[in-house]
Structure 1
Amino acid sequence: MATFIPLADDQRSDLLEPLSRIGPIVVSSLLFSNHPPPKRCYVGVDDNSSPNLEEVVSWLDRGVEKVIVPLTCAKELIAAGIPSDRLYLLLDVGNVSAVSDTVRNSVSGVFLKTPTIDLDLVSSVSKFFSSSAIYVLPETTSAPTTSTIRELQSIGAALVIPTSQLTLAPTSGNYINIGDAFLASIVSDRSDGFFPTIVSTVTGHSLGLVYSSTESIRESIITGKGVYQSRRHGLWRKGETSGATQEVISIRLDCDSDSIEFRVLQHGAGFCHLNRQSCFGEASGLPALESTLRSRLTQAPKGSYTRKLFDEPELLRSKIMEEADELCRATTKEDVAFEAADLLYFALAKCISAGVTIADIEQSLDAKAKRVTRRPGNAKPQWSKQISAHIDEQKELPTADSRIRMRTYVLSEVSSDERSKLLKRPVLKSEEMISKVKPIVDEVRSRGDAALLEFTAKFDKVQLASTVIFPPFAPETMQIDPTVKSAIDQAYINIRKFHAAQVDGEALVVETMPGVVCSRFARPISRVGLYVPGGTAILPSTALMLGIPAQVAGCKEIVLATPPRSDGSISPEVMYVAHLVGASALLKAGGAQAVAAMAYGTKTVPKVDKIFGPGNQWVTAAKMLVQNDTDALVSIDMPAGPSEVLVIADHTSNPAFVAADLLSQAEHGADSQVVLVSVDLSQEKLDHIEKEVDVQARALSRVDIVRQSIAKSIIVKTSSVEEAIAFSNDYAPEHLILHLKNARDNVTLIDNAGSVFVGSYTPESCGDYASGTNHTLPTNGYARQFSGVNTLSFQKHITSQEITFDGLKGLGPVVATLADCEGLEAHAHAVRIRLRASST
């Protein structure tokens, strides 16, 4: 049992972090509801509160270790089945006799409220609650002495000390130092009074044996750094000279209170003076694998298999799914162990690439173990054998030898429900993703550049001194291949020409009645943020598509955000485009942290008014989160989902062209949506298209990705162009390609699409890069409501009106009558006072 437990009874936030290192903290239910909870905490409910079952369950599910409740509330929670190991009783010393055997046996701890500390009485209560931890909460305003803590510990009880009586300073008067309280009961059998101390990793793997003193432990509790006692040299602040510092996660006493365990996050070469992780030899098993993978993430040579896993997320995803399947098929003990090891390797590679450690995984497991509510545990529909095979998008993936082909439906033969399913995209778990990105967004919002730098180091694996570059950009950062430069220049000309023609430059002026002139005029959005996905990828095309309309619209500030490369630089192609479009700042950051920095602004990152650009699900969730925060006052371009194409093809279509268009979209990712709508095509023609898909796909370097996306893609057979376009309008694709006779004549029938590619010689690729139209388009069916990014996306419209006296004479009575009808007298008065003044 702990020597004492702190009670957060005030706003001493400076104590919470040090206290969390030595054990849980008790917080009131009110404080818990209104403030972020400490890392480890118990929630206490006083006699005047009566939380309902749902509240208590929600606390426990959020990770609260124990709830401490009065007797009446405890009875209700026991009856509801709250586990005894999570339930503590708050009890006045005079009410012990009122506790029934049922309650006594259904709680694991008692907080005993008493006017004074009576050891005999506490001992008696401890015997009554023989299987429960006893905590004594005296009604006193003076700080306890260490001898009081020791006396209670000797009879198996711990003292509850309000934070108002605790201090980080030396013990004096009404305050007791946290370290003194923690060490009150520890004993040493050494002549020097030092305490043997085991130092271990966050996951409990031993690093070495050292010694601690009262002074070193006090300093570690307060600073959160590994500080020990050298038997020769005094205080030993780990890493002070070597740089191999430690962050202290927890400090615990053993069961006999004569030795200590430090759990730490070790930095640098390792704990041992031989530059090894542990003094007991090299790590093995999962810790060794974690260390190896983390090293290879930054140092693996290009072309190595591990480097390939990190650089190609879809390959890694495929290997995880493959190994999971092989583990499920394994039967013998040896095979299960072999396949499980393979799965753990690839799963841990996925974790390391996302900045997740084994400690993070264990923390998640612990959090799940604390949950009171449980899911039924049934397999999700896509993994259930009962799901309809012809609609199931997660059917067994094809093998490397199987033909790459799509699933076919005859539109006139499917039911209305099946037709609806054909129109659906994969479910986007937006709420789940928003909950994941919210802590990142909140950290950047509250801590600014410091948090941004930390997240850049964690997620982008780059240590930066600053994340922002301002123009003029150094010429050496924009050195690119002349051929690439020429292509970018031509794309810039085409895209700028098309977007410049879209500028709304002239005011709209309308005289709605004599003397009443209304107008509308456009103004650029002053500050815009452009997110360009990057890291290992090079995407100057996205920088062009977002930067050019912002430039021609006249935006005063253009902040371009893109993840840095492994050396901390930005690809010279993107740097060159940033120069071309007149970017006013370049943010070297990606993910939710970049979105948050632009939404709220930091000391170095300018705040923007609207955020544009594609990104992964973390970026999308962050954009959705900040646009709904009134404190951010920021809007976004549109919701986003996986990229998609719908191709309509008739008998005039070239099968090779159609297949190429389908594959150009399928290679984006395993979740890409690819649909072919055939118009009265013969089976021979369809077979020809599918053969071309298979042959062309096998020649692609991203064939593994294509196998997955094509296996989930569909062919919809229709009998007429009208039927085909009606289906397309319902689907509302991001990209629509028309391989039709007289394709141009059918464009007038298109109601819903992000962008239309007309005719056999108009591949989607041209719109993606350089024809002039924008490639940032609505996905997931949002083409029903949203336009793609265009120049007007970077402008807003302001209306004005000017009324003469004669105009007011005609309009005023109408306005006054309507204002009277709505009971808004001041509105009517504002008109009548003018009319009366003018008439006199």
Structure 2
Amino acid sequence: MPAPIFLPLVDPTAAALIPALALLGPVLVPAALLDAVRPSIPKTGSYIVDVSASDADVVDILNAGAAAVVVSSQQFLSVAGIPRERLIAKLQASELANAAAAAEVAGAIYIVGGTEKDTAKSLGVKADVYVELASPSPATLVESIKAARPTTLVIPTALLTTGASSATHVSIADAFLAPVVSDRPDGLFPTIVASSGHSSRPLGMVYSSVESVSEAIKTQKGVYQSRKHGLWRKGETSGSVQDLVSIELDCDTDSFVFNVVQHGTGFCHLGTPTCFGNWNGLARLEDTLKSRLADAPEGSYTKRIFTDEKLLRAKIMEEAEELCDAQTKEEIAFEAADLLYFSLARAVSKGVSLKDIELALDAKALKVTRRKGDAKPKWEEKVADKPAAAPAPVAAAPAEEGPIRMRTTTLKEVPKEEYRSLLLRPVLNSLAMIDKVKPIVERVRKEGDAGLKAMTKQFDRADLSSNVQLPPFATPTEAELPKDVKAAIDQAYANVKAFHAAQVDAAPLRVETMPGVVCSRFARPIQRVGIYVPGGTAILPSTAIMLGVPAQVAGCKEIVLATPPRPDGSISPEVLYVAQLTGVTCILKAGGAQAVAAFAYGTDTVPKVDKIFGPGNQWVTAAKMLVQNDTDALVSIDMPAGPSEVLVIADATANPVFVAADLLSQAEHGVDSQVVLVGISLTAEHLAAIEAEVDRQALALPRVAIARVAISKSLIVLVDTLEEGLDFSNDYAPEHLIMHLADAPGAVAQVENAGSVFVGAFSPESCGDYASGTNHTLPTNGYARQFSGVNTLSFQKHITSQEVTADGLRVLGPVVVTLAEREGLEAHANAVRVRLAELAK
């Protein structure tokens, strides 16, 4: 939003001025006056709302069409997630030291009680600056506007008038024209006249003067300055008048654009719509359709288009489908033109103009919260049922795309300064994602169950009476859960439970650090945990097992399992069965950031949790990172997350078929999956065999397109020795480390950083993902240097205690007193001294 020449601050008496003021840019409306003033405001995006002294809902105000909102520094946290350019930070003159911090949050700074000398440069900010003068004077206001540029002055409407300037009021035109200068000898201003919302082609080029601009603002009509005849009120004699929509200044403040609605025969004296000929593009089509609507012969196809609703509806759907099926540039252009023709015919038949469509687009652009954007179920089903015109994205890649290969580098040839680049993962813009999830999280926080239900309907397409399902959970039937699947889940559950139960602390740790001083540590379960299981249409019982089992064996009293519901509101029977096995106390039927928010803050029906576990997409990950840093939430998370990754380390004994399969087991997760092969003294033939197997096996996968992209970004690192290979692996710190080595068990002792290790040729990563017993929720993106994978201790916290006897304090006390005094903490020292004094009696 470009900074206006001045910003009018609306008061309760200003309704009559608003149409004239809105021609020149936005008006500033206090939140308390918005409902009263908004009917006078001509369009969305032409007003700013000051909410700094209210508790108005900022998102609702912006979604309703405000260009921006003015907020106080105390409101910065409550507007997290709102685009910076839609916020103006209001500061008192005494708060200017905070301007730089405010500019990080908002796109403009609004200073109350400032001076004309307060500029972006003087404040050291990259933001527009608005200044409300402490005591504005009508006598000097025009000069103040000139002196302040590029700062914008906030001017109370009580000082403005549509008439001539006086001792008590300033003409709106004089205020607007204050910084405008002409470089012409006659003092006129070149003015482009444009048709508002109708065409990108200008109507013509004319001239304006101070007098004509003043008249145009006062009458809200197209008024210009003829170089021969003086003041020119367009259409005064011909009837082709213009309604003035807005006046814009160019960047040098020496020329104008008048946006108008042209009436009558057109702008040009030759009878054409513009001085540059007829309309083109959509504007020409709109005029043609309007003409045909008025006089198309009965029975003609054009007349049928306008009168036969069923025919027009069918043509729009037909052309939309043909556009979706088009492939070449020429086909797409042709079919898009047909769709635009029939769509605009529909609009014209209902009295909707291009201007109306433009206003609707502007209104959509101003919204800061939007629906997810998925197609309605009936259209998703239609696309699913219809054979694709082009090959499906995951079909086998055509031969001309070449073999699926990884990049290869020899470690000893890599310069030292480039070594770290081999360890890098793709840059994850977590801050941008956090900004996107903030409105979702905030809605659940404010609206609770109502917001959660609304977003479940919006994002998960499930209209639920309640998002919560409580035990006892119904046992799935054999038709829902076949015996072999149930048996596999039972075995995986037993293995994971056996391994995680063994991790429980058997007894408290107790150490006598010196005679009479005993220190202890004991474990206690985290009382309330939230486990997130991605899903909806997918079936992920393995994640439910990996998170539910350690929560169960740790002794957590409340286990809340969140998973997206299916469209009918149900949960997959596999996940429901695992919830039964693991003692889940509540199922939250919700996915995405909204489920994380419900975990973090709780609702009337969803229990608030103390720690959140589980994988998810970037929305889930960003929401977890957001809530863990909110002190109001008081919630922690398991670990940072990123794309799945594997590092396979292989020597001359490795089976190329196994190695290739292990690489692809991660590559199929997504195009951002990270796959690394560290080859130890591999011959050229052995390496070629592995690469050939990667290509052969990938082409046989249903997700070959995903694997092709992931593999193309992946890396083969060739080293000479096992030590070099393990050193690289430890620096890389992979989520999964798979060892295809002659002595894989012996190499485990050298592993320093990894999420989970798969030892030997017959230990594929898939076993750990599903049923061996270890947990598959592991650190990615190099975080294996600092984090463990999820385990039983993740669901517990450890409390320490100390017990000091009288004899122990006699020895320990003087030590404590000395250290406390050294630190200047006399109360700490005194707590020991009084006891020592008592013992000395």
What's the TM-score once normalised by structure 1's chain length?
Answer: 0.65
**Which residue in the other structure is 1:156 paired with?**
218
| Counterpart-to-counterpart distance in 2, 1:438 and 1:685 | 51
Question: What RMSD in Å do the two structures reach over aligned CA positions?
Answer: 4.8
| Counterpart-to-counterpart distance in 2, 1:682 and 1:427 | 34
Residues 487-519 of structure 1: CA distance to partner in whole angstroms, max 9, x if unpaired? Answer: 000000111001000011301111111111111
**Which residue in the other structure is 1:550 paired with?**
551
Distance 1:83 1:525, change over 3 A: closer
Structure 1 residue 401 displacement after superposition: 3.8
Structure 1 residues 297-696: aligned runs within 5 Å: 334=330, 337=333, 401-476=401-476, 479-696=480-697
Task: Tell me the SS of whatever aligns to 1:798.
Answer: strand
Structure 1 residues 34-73: aligned runs within 5 Å: 36=58, 38-39=61-62, 40=66, 41=68, 49=93, 72-73=115-116
Structure 1 residue 457 displacement after superposition: 1.5
Q: Match of 2:410, as an amino acid?
A: V
Structure 1 residue 589 displacement after superposition: 0.6
| Counterpart-to-counterpart distance in 1, 2:516 and 2:455 | 59
Residues 747-781 of structure 1: CA distance to partner in whole angstroms, max 9, x if unpaired? Answer: 00100000000011110000000000000001001
Structure 1 residue 88 displacement after superposition: 9.9
Residues 92 and 113 in structure 1, CA contact (< 8 A), matched pair in contact too: no
Distance 1:13 1:786, change over 3 A: farther
Q: Match of 2:454, as an amino acid?
A: E
Task: Tell me the SS of whatever aligns to 2:503.
Answer: coil
**Which residue in the other structure is 1:99 paired with?**
143
- Of 174, 195, 199, the residue aligned with 1:128 is 174
Distance 1:690 1:548, change over 3 A: same
Distance 1:711 1:835, change over 3 A: same
Structure 1 residue 132 displacement after superposition: 9.2
Distance 1:522 1:16, change over 3 A: farther
| Counterpart-to-counterpart distance in 2, 1:516 and 1:85 | 64
Structure 1 residue 73 displacement after superposition: 3.3
Which is further off, 459-468 or 608-617? 459-468
Task: Tell me the SS of whatever aligns to 1:73.
Answer: coil
Residues 84 and 108 in structure 1, CA contact (< 8 A), matched pair in contact too: no
Gaps of 5+ in 2: 1-16, 71-87, 180-213, 221-306, 341-356, 369-396
Q: Match of 1:337, as an amino acid?
A: A
| Counterpart-to-counterpart distance in 2, 1:580 and 1:779 | 28
| Counterpart-to-counterpart distance in 1, 2:780 and 2:744 | 23
Residues 734 and 753 in structure 2, CA contact (< 8 A), matched pair in contact too: yes
Structure 1 residue 363 displacement after superposition: 6.3
Distance 1:444 1:21, change over 3 A: farther
Distance 1:532 1:655, change over 3 A: same
Residues 131 and 152 in structure 2, CA contact (< 8 A), matched pair in contact too: yes
Residues 460-497 of structure 1: CA distance to partner in whole angstroms, max 9, x if unpaired? Answer: 12211111101011235894111100100000011100
| Counterpart-to-counterpart distance in 2, 1:822 and 1:16 | 62
Task: Tell me the SS of whatever aligns to 2:116.
Answer: helix
| Counterpart-to-counterpart distance in 2, 1:108 and 1:283 | 53
Structure 1 residue 104 displacement after superposition: 11
Task: Tell me the SS of whatever aligns to 1:464.
Answer: coil
Residues 599 and 632 in structure 1, CA contact (< 8 A), matched pair in contact too: yes
Residues 316-374 of structure 1: CA distance to partner in whole angstroms, max 9, x if unpaired? Answer: xxxxxxx9xx99xx6xxx378369999x9xxxxxxxxxxxx999986686699xxxxxx
Residues 248-281 of structure 1: CA distance to partner in whole angstroms, max 9, x if unpaired? Answer: xxxxxxxxxxxxxxxxxxxxxxxxxxxx999995
Q: Match of 1:156, as an amino acid?
A: K
Residues 500 and 552 in structure 1, CA contact (< 8 A), matched pair in contact too: yes
**Which residue in the other structure is 1:712 paired with?**
713
Residues 227-249 of structure 1: CA distance to partner in whole angstroms, max 9, x if unpaired? Answer: xxxxxxxxxxxxxxxxxxxxxxx
**Which residue in the other structure is 2:815 paired with?**
814
Task: Tell me the SS of whatever aligns to 1:806.
Answer: helix
| Counterpart-to-counterpart distance in 2, 1:429 and 1:283 | 44
Which is further off, 492-501 or 54-63? 54-63
Name the larger-Rg structure.
Answer: 2
| Counterpart-to-counterpart distance in 2, 1:527 and 1:120 | 70
Structure 1 residue 838 displacement after superposition: 3.0
> Percent sequence identity over matched residues?
55
Residues 278-327 of structure 1: CA distance to partner in whole angstroms, max 9, x if unpaired? Answer: 9995498799959x99xxxxxxxxxxx99xxxxxxxxxxxxxxxx9xx99
| Match status 1:835 vs 2:836 | yes
Q: Match of 1:597, as an amino acid?
A: A
**Which residue in the other structure is 2:827 paired with?**
826
Q: Match of 2:777, as an amino acid?
A: T
Distance 1:494 1:506, change over 3 A: same
Structure 1 residue 156 displacement after superposition: 3.1
| Counterpart-to-counterpart distance in 1, 2:747 and 2:794 | 27
Task: Tell me the SS of whatever aligns to 1:432.
Answer: helix
Task: Tell me the SS of whatever aligns to 1:599.
Answer: helix
Q: Match of 1:675, as an amino acid?
A: V
Residues 56 and 67 in structure 1, CA contact (< 8 A), matched pair in contact too: no
Report how many aligned residue pairs link the two structures.
629
Q: Match of 1:475, as an amino acid?
A: T
Distance 1:360 1:405, change over 3 A: farther
| Counterpart-to-counterpart distance in 1, 2:497 and 2:819 | 48
**Which residue in the other structure is 1:742 paired with?**
743
Residues 46 and 70 in structure 1, CA contact (< 8 A), matched pair in contact too: no
Distance 1:70 1:286, change over 3 A: farther
Residues 669-717 of structure 1: CA distance to partner in whole angstroms, max 9, x if unpaired? Answer: 1110011111101000111111111111111111111111011111111
Residues 175-204 of structure 1: CA distance to partner in whole angstroms, max 9, x if unpaired? Answer: xxxxxxxxxxxxxxxxxxxxxxxxxxxxxx
Q: Match of 1:609, as an amino acid?
A: D
Residues 650 and 680 in structure 1, CA contact (< 8 A), matched pair in contact too: yes
| Counterpart-to-counterpart distance in 1, 2:337 and 2:598 | 40
| Counterpart-to-counterpart distance in 2, 1:277 and 1:736 | 66
Structure 1 residue 558 displacement after superposition: 0.3
Residues 119 and 150 in structure 2, CA contact (< 8 A), matched pair in contact too: no
| Counterpart-to-counterpart distance in 2, 1:705 and 1:547 | 30
Task: Tell me the SS of whatever aligns to 2:587.
Answer: strand
Task: Tell me the SS of whatever aligns to 1:528.
Answer: strand
| Counterpart-to-counterpart distance in 1, 2:624 and 2:682 | 43
Structure 1 residue 801 displacement after superposition: 1.1
Residues 78 and 106 in structure 1, CA contact (< 8 A), matched pair in contact too: no
Distance 1:580 1:367, change over 3 A: closer
Distance 1:557 1:68, change over 3 A: closer
Distance 1:278 1:126, change over 3 A: farther
**Which residue in the other structure is 2:775 paired with?**
774
Distance 1:604 1:831, change over 3 A: same
Residues 398 and 711 in structure 1, CA contact (< 8 A), matched pair in contact too: no
Distance 1:429 1:477, change over 3 A: farther
Residues 585-638 of structure 1: CA distance to partner in whole angstroms, max 9, x if unpaired? Answer: 001111111001001111111000000001111111111111111111111111
Task: Tell me the SS of whatever aligns to 1:418.
Answer: helix
| Counterpart-to-counterpart distance in 1, 2:148 and 2:635 | 55
Task: Tell me the SS of whatever aligns to 1:466.
Answer: coil
Structure 1 residues 184-203: aligned runs within 5 Å: none
| Counterpart-to-counterpart distance in 1, 2:727 and 2:540 | 34
Structure 1 residues 164-183: aligned runs within 5 Å: none
Residues 820 and 828 in structure 1, CA contact (< 8 A), matched pair in contact too: yes
Task: Tell me the SS of whatever aligns to 2:799.
Answer: strand
Q: Match of 2:686, as an amino acid?
A: K
